[in-house]
Every structure is written in structure tokens, then in C-alpha cells.
Amino acid sequence: MKTRREFIVQCSFGVSAVSLAALSTQSLAQGAMVLETDANAVGLAYKANATKVAKAKYPKYAAGQACNSCALYQGKAADKAGGCPLFAGKQVAGAGWCSAWAKKA
């Protein structure tokens, strides 16, 4: 029969292991790139490469607009990818573009 102290120590190790597993799963989800085929991406006309935007279809698009120059982009301008509140839990390409692009102040 185990002592109370052994039981408490084992429980604390179990809780720690579960917490670490949850954190690593969350960090993987934050690192996932948004796909152009995701429903939200399609609705916002997201392209991972801004040079592939159909300029005739999206007259709002102008050369030089990219996710890394957007007010919503949560990464640094030099980052290859970063977070965007429009695609919760996923990252967008720094060189990407969507119809919600907004100039940084």
C-alpha cells in the first residue's frame, strides 16, 4: 500500500505531464498555417503569395500590400509568418494578402 506522500507526489507528476501536453498541443495549433482552401480564407480571398492576387477581381489590392505590412498582422515585418486575428489560432504568410488588408498607422 502506498503512503499518502507517494500518492501526492505521483498525482503532481501526472498533473504536470498533462499540463505540458496541453501546452505543446496549443503551441502546435498556433503554428499551423492557414490554408487558402479554409472557409474563412476563401471568404477573405486570402492568398499565401500576394503576387497571385487576381488584381481585376480585387481592385482594392495594390502592389506592395502584404500581410506583413497590414495593421492586423501580429508578427514582425521581417517574419515569414505571423498571427492574424481573422484566422484565430493559425498563422498567415508574411508575403500573403487578403481582402481585409489595412494600412498600418
- pLDDT tens figures, 25-37: 444 445 799 999 9
On the question of pLDDT at 7 being above 70, the answer is no
Q: Are 44 and 100 in contact (CB under 8 A)?
A: yes
Cell digits of residue 81: 509568418
Q: What is the pTM of this model?
A: 0.69
- Alpha carbon distance 40, 48 (integer Å): 14
What pLDDT is recorded for position 50?
Answer: 94
- Mean of the pLDDT values across residues 74-82? 95
What is the CATH number that goes with domain 32-105? Answer: 4.10.490.10
Residue recorded with cell 501580429: 74
